[in-house]
Amino acid sequence: MSIFFLIFLIILLAGCSAEKVRPGEKVSLQYATGFSIENLPAGCKKVTDGDGRELLLVPRGKKPPAGYGNLPVFYTPVQKVVVGSTTQAALLRPLGVLGTIAGVTTEKKDWYIDEVTKGMEKGRVAFLGKNSAPDYEKIKALSPDVVFTYTHVMGGTEFAQKLNELGIPYAVDNEWLESHPLGRVEWVKFLAAFYNKEKEADDYFRQVVANVEQVARKVPAGTRPKVLWGSIFKGKVYVPAGNSYVARMIEMAGGDYVFKDLGGSATGNANITLEEFYARGKDADIFIIPFSPQSTGITSIAKLLEQAPVLADIKPVKEKRIWCAQPWYYQSMDKTDEQIEDLAAMFYPVSWSGYQPRHFMSLPDK
């Protein structure tokens, strides 16, 4: 076999293995329901964002195709972006594009993503004010290629409306509305479209799904441990609804969520009384507080009982099987597979002997 034929064969095989992009076809989504992407000729894409807005993505150096003149145009790959949520930054991590973040709406002290923290220290990433009171002049002066934001909660809708009014390009990433944890993760494909990083997104997402399936296979058969999940704030108790992504995470990790039959709001949460929390949770095997001790002030079981003395005789408190989230939990959405394995290890410590959870910590006695 000549060297020229061998080179030809390698090129041919590489071409055959590359994923074909067919104009007019929509990108296949397994779990996400809040966005869509349609491939157009010449590498262009029509993206429908989390608010149902249609956006036109055009490769740099090319002209927008005819027939889409009324759509906002974004030239790809984007090079300078603003993120309105830490979860968006988390999903940029597997794409390797955290370096494109030029502005954020979360203060430096609240970040747990090293690239962003270091960027803020070096002045490469600017704090632009919180979403509830952003500095629009500063955002405009920054001139980002796109602002990734969300809507419906925490000032997000007003933020998006003002960006629209000022002519600042933005795209709505509402991954938080997905009811399946892998649906939230699949929004990486939405972000990837702005960077032409579809292959990286596909490879990453497939691996996350495979990891979760592997965890499910390891979960022992038999009776599932009862899981109590909730937070107590000023006498009120907040728990995930039965159709929320959290309830699904518990189920995927082999747990039996005690509020699995509970309806909730569009946010996936429900507000219940402390008495109901006690009644349903008294026989639970494990209790998970979904916030870090630093954010809630509940730094120990003793502190928990100061806020809710009635919980002193529920089973997980008596057996000291109480876990809380690490401070970086909500900035690790790209590691949802790890979080689900953490839960499985907490539910089945014998099957995961020697395993150290990465996104949860045991609540100390005092």
Share of the chain above pLDDT 70, in %: 93
Residue 20's pLDDT is: 54
**What span, in angstroms and rounded, lies between the C-alpha atoms of 102 and 144?**
8
**What span, in angstroms and rounded, lies between the C-alpha atoms of 279 and 282?**
6
Crossing angle between the packed helical segments 336-347 and 198-218, to the nearest 10 degrees: 10
The pLDDT of residue 167 is above 70? yes
**What span, in angstroms and rounded, lies between the C-alpha atoms of 102 and 105?**
11
**What span, in angstroms and rounded, lies between the C-alpha atoms of 149 and 159?**
8
If 0-12 CB within 10 Å is exposed, 13-18 middle and 19+ buried, where does residue 303 land? middle
Q: Which residue has the higher pLDDT, 151 or 233?
A: 151
Residue 9's pLDDT is: 39
Q: What is the pLDDT of residues 132-157, one digit of tens each?
A: 889 999 999 999 999 999 998 777 88
Q: What is the pLDDT of residues 341-363, one digit of tens each?
A: 999 999 999 999 999 999 999 99
User: Which pair of tokens denotes residue 140?
Assistant: 């405009």
Share of the chain above pLDDT 90, in %: 80
Confidence of residue 35 (pLDDT cuts 50, 70, 90): very high
User: Which pair of tokens denotes residue 68?
Assistant: 């889409």
Q: HSE on the CB side for 29, CA within 13 Å?
A: 20
**What span, in angstroms and rounded, lies between the C-alpha atoms of 82 and 190?**
15
